[in-house]
């Protein structure tokens, strides 16, 4: 607790975050769809962000959060995006429900609930 999140490189790179609840919803839609025309669907948020922008959003909800983000690119993470999700929208009815602010806020609230549950056990 109180330690900085250190990310050595990747600060010059954009990412397309996808909140887990949107990913789960897409899987659910695909599992229950009838007569699928395709076997592959891109699932994304439709938004691209630098790591610093994501860190700044987290800091809105957790002002004491400390991030150290190095410059450059993370060669392990290929930058693409935003993904083209038209096929998933058309054939599955997929729509991302969690824009980045809402997703981060929801995740923080969930982690607080989990933390409180373990403390009271």
105 Cβ contact list (under 8 Å, min separation 6) = 61
For residue 74 the two structure tokens come to 């993370």
Structure confidence at residue 118 as a pLDDT band (50, 70, 90) = low
Residue ranges of domains in the chain, CATH in brackets: 5-120 (3.40.50.720)
Cα separations in angstroms, 21 against 6, 84, 93, 121: 26, 19, 15, 26
Q: In the chain, what's the furthest Cα-to-Cα distance?
A: 51
Please write the tens of the pLDDT for every residue from 35-83.
899 999 999 999 999 999 999 999 999 999 999 999 988 777 777 789 9
Long-range contacts of 33-37 (CB under 8 A, 24+ apart): 33/91, 33/92, 36/91, 37/91
């Amino acid at each position: 607790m109180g330690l900085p999140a250190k990310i050595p490189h990747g600060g010059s790179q954009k990412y397309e975050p996808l909140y887990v609840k949107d990913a789960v919803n897409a899987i659910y839609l695909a599992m229950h769809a009838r007569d699928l025309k395709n076997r592959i669907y891109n699932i994304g948020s439709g938004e691209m962000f630098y790591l610093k922008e994501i860190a700044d959003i987290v800091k809105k909800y957790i002002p004491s959060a400390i991030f150290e983000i190095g410059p450059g690119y993370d060669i392990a993470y290929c930058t693409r995006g935003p993904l083209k999700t038209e096929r998933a929208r058309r054939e599955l009815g997929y729509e991302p429900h969690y824009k980045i602010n809402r997703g981060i806020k929801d995740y923080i609230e969930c982690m607080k609930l989990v933390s409180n549950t373990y403390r009271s056990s």
